[in-house]
Amino acid sequence: MFVSAKSGREPTTRTPCVGVRVALVVGSLGVLGVLGCGDPSSDADTQADDSSDTDALRPSWHQDIAPLIHAHCVRCHQPGGVAPMSLHDHDSAAPWAAQMLDEVVAGTMPPWGPRITERCQPDHDFVDDPTLANADVDLLARWLAAGAPVGDPATAAPLPKLDSLALTDVSASFHNAAPYSFEGPGDAYVCFSADLGLTEPRFLDGIEVLPDNEAIVHHVLVWVTPTPPAEHPGPWDCPPGAILEGAWLLGIWVPGASPTVFPEGVSFAVPAGAHVILSYHYHPPGPGTHTDRSGVALRWQAEPTPWLGAFALLGLHPEPDQLLDPPFMIPAGASDHPETVAEPWPVDEVSLFSIGTHMHYVGRDQLISVQRPGQSLADADCLLHTPAWDFDWQRLYQIDRPLEQLPTLGPGDTVWMDCRYDNTLDNPGVARALSEQGLSDAQDVYWGDSSLDEMCVGLVGVAWPLAGPDPDPDPDPGPDPGVPGR
Ligand code: HEC
């Protein structure tokens, strides 16, 4: 079923010096966190100012670290940003120096799923990969070891300019009919819909979620349906991870994410009468009444584009013959349980422009590969590996190639989704899902929509050229919308 939606590296296994480890432990106490392996001064600023040996001051915040942190972290870690603390200046960043290194070394910050691993070396990169180069990680480690010195503001290195992430040339925006309020501290999963007001088909190439109360909007899925949903305009309950049947998924928003933009020359044909559905996960910081009225901005192309695009979910309803080892069941207590779903590519040849993995809370590692006709499974082409799956940071990764050079998916190809699950209380996702359901012991987990069910799904963004300059002027998505080559 068609629905709507960079290259990383394996987390480095460098071991910070012993002092760094100590600093990690005391880091939560604030400025003590800057204790490194060097001078055990507890005040990086004083240490920096008092030193007459300028070499001892490097790497320093103003000379070396600030440009790095601004390029990779400050988009989220700034006052009013989505992250819980700012890292934009020395005063706010220095107390976090140890945790910063720890998160970067672990590969958890900046948030980014794809890794190059022993099992997966795709021959494409992904657009906008924010991962730090090893040399930058070293710099951060040496800064921490030096006591996180501030350096000289008079000779500060220039800071990179952060481009706006906002969608340009917005055509229309839609909001929920009324603000939505609910009582914390529990999470809420709700859907709203809005009429796009189209009397004729339009060609959509950009979607941006407009979060209102960022403190509670955890993530948002944007769907488009050819007809009004039964519950229109909502709000109505949407289970976490729910897949809306008969709708196209057109975007995933997580904190700090860029808008969903189709590659140049590609658009999605939205039929007349279509509605947009916003599927929210609200995660309030605590008790009390929380209110939000987020929306979505869309960009229409004035003319049909030379390529059409759509997003597809692969392996959504696996039949037993699509499972490597049926039935799909993750036993309670299993810490590394594999499930594999195979999806023979169902339609004509398309070009793959983006890809993402999708599981729920029990998942911890997913790999997507494609087996070409005559190729052995062991030699299948790996497309994406997200070995540190995080439900909270799911997104699509755009392949960094010109349209004509994108990998293809075609008849005879089989797409394999290899998923691994940790169904123990050591998995924070399992602990969270159990507590949401008022349970204390791990449960056997089956395929399904709700938080204690699982999936092993691939998300792909695909495009196909139109034979003539004028694509189907009256796209009729029908029950299996967006299928190319129809
Ligand atoms: C896309 C947004 C985003 C970017 C970019 C980002 N962070 Fe974060 N960071 C967050 C959020 C949100 C959290 C809160 C925890 C979570 O949701 O995972 C966080 C948490 C952290 C924490 C843990 C705080 C704690 O409570 O222990 C550290 C340390 C951190 N980030 C460092 C960094 C560093 C260093 C960079 C850049 C190399 C970076 N982050 C880039 C969004 C971001």
Burial class (CB in 10 A: 0-12, 13-18, 19+), 65: buried
Burial class (CB in 10 A: 0-12, 13-18, 19+), 456: buried
Least-confidence region, from 161-165, 191-195, 374-378? 161-165
**Ligand 1, atom 30: closest residue by C-alpha:** 100
Q: Which ligand 1 atom sits nearest the alpha carbon of residue 256?
A: 1
- Yes or no: say if 400 and 124 are a contact pair by the CB < 8 Å rule: yes
**Peptide bond connecting 130 to the previous residue in cis, omega within 30 degrees of 0:** no
Mean pLDDT of 52-78: 86
Q: What is the pLDDT of residue 285?
A: 78
**Ligand 1 mutation pick, 70, 85, 109, 214, max ligand atoms within 8 A of CB:** 109
Q: What is the pLDDT of residue 284?
A: 84
- Yes or no: say if 462 and 309 are a contact pair by the CB < 8 Å rule: yes
Instruction: Tell me which long-range contacts 402-407 makes (C-beta under 8 A, separation of at least 24).
Output: 403/263, 403/264, 403/265, 403/266, 403/307, 403/351, 403/353, 403/463, 406/351, 406/352, 406/353, 406/463, 407/124, 407/351, 407/352, 407/370, 407/381, 407/383
Higher pLDDT, 210 or 476: 210
Residues 6+ apart with CB under 8 A from 164: none
**Ligand 1 mutation pick, 72, 73, 99, 258, max ligand atoms within 8 A of CB:** 73
- 42 pLDDT higher than 50: no
For residue 343, name the pLDDT band (cuts at 50, 70, 90).
very high
**Ligand 1, atom 19: closest residue by C-alpha:** 83
CA distance 395 to 313: 13
Higher pLDDT, 122 or 177: 122
Percentage, residues of the chain above pLDDT 70:
84
Using CB distances shorter than 6 Å, the residues near ligand 1 are: 72-73, 75-77, 82-84, 96, 99-100, 103-104, 109-111, 130, 132, 255-256, 392
pLDDT in tens, 176-224: 888 999 998 888 899 999 999 999 999 999 999 998 888 888 888 899 9
Burial class (CB in 10 A: 0-12, 13-18, 19+), 469: exposed
For residue 127, name the pLDDT band (cuts at 50, 70, 90).
very high
Q: How far is the CA of 110 from the centre of ligand 1 (A)?
A: 6
CA distance 260 to 306: 19
- 19 pLDDT higher than 90: no
- 8 pLDDT higher than 80: no
**Ligand 1 mutation pick, 77, 136, 218, 254, max ligand atoms within 8 A of CB:** 77
**Ligand 1, atom 10: closest residue by C-alpha:** 83
Least-confidence region, from 8-22, 78-92, 143-157, 222-236? 8-22
Mean pLDDT of 379-403: 93
CA distance 298 to 174: 8
CA angle 2, 198, 351 (to 5 degrees): 30
For residue 164, name the pLDDT band (cuts at 50, 70, 90).
confident
Type of residue numbered 256: G
Q: Which of 313, 307, 459, 316 is nearest to 394 (CA)?
A: 459
Kindly report the number of other CB atoms within 10 A of residue 230's CB atom: 7
**Structure-block tokens of residue 266:** 């590609």
- Yes or no: say if 470 and 401 are a contact pair by the CB < 8 Å rule: no
Q: How far is the CA of 98 from the centre of ligand 1 (A)?
A: 13
Mean pLDDT of 324-338: 96
Q: What is the pLDDT of residue 254?
A: 79
- 43 pLDDT higher than 50: no
Type of residue numbered 314: L
Q: What is the pLDDT of residue 467?
A: 62
Task: Give how far Cα 36 sits from Cα of 140, 150, 473, Å.
Answer: 11, 14, 65
Burial class (CB in 10 A: 0-12, 13-18, 19+), 402: exposed
pLDDT in tens, 269-316: 999 999 999 999 898 878 899 999 999 999 999 888 999 998 888 988
- 346 pLDDT higher than 50: yes
Q: Which ligand 1 atom sits nearest the alpha carbon of residue 82?
A: 12
**Structure-block tokens of residue 462:** 């695909």
Q: What is the pLDDT of residue 159?
A: 96
Task: Give how far Cα 320 sits from Cα of 314, 328, 380, Å.
Answer: 15, 8, 22
- Yes or no: say if 53 and 149 are a contact pair by the CB < 8 Å rule: no
Kindly report the number of other CB atoms within 10 A of residue 205's CB atom: 22
- 23 pLDDT higher than 80: no
For residue 441, name the pLDDT band (cuts at 50, 70, 90).
very high
For residue 235, name the pLDDT band (cuts at 50, 70, 90).
very high
Q: How far is the CA of 77 from the centre of ligand 1 (A)?
A: 7
Question: Average per-residue pLDDT in the chain?
Answer: 83
Return the half-sphere exposure (C-beta side, CA atoms, 13 A cut-off) of residue 27.
Answer: 22
Mean pLDDT of 213-241: 88
Place of tokens 């109505």: 236
CA distance 449 to 421: 16
Mean pLDDT of 65-94: 93
Q: What is the pLDDT of residue 432?
A: 85
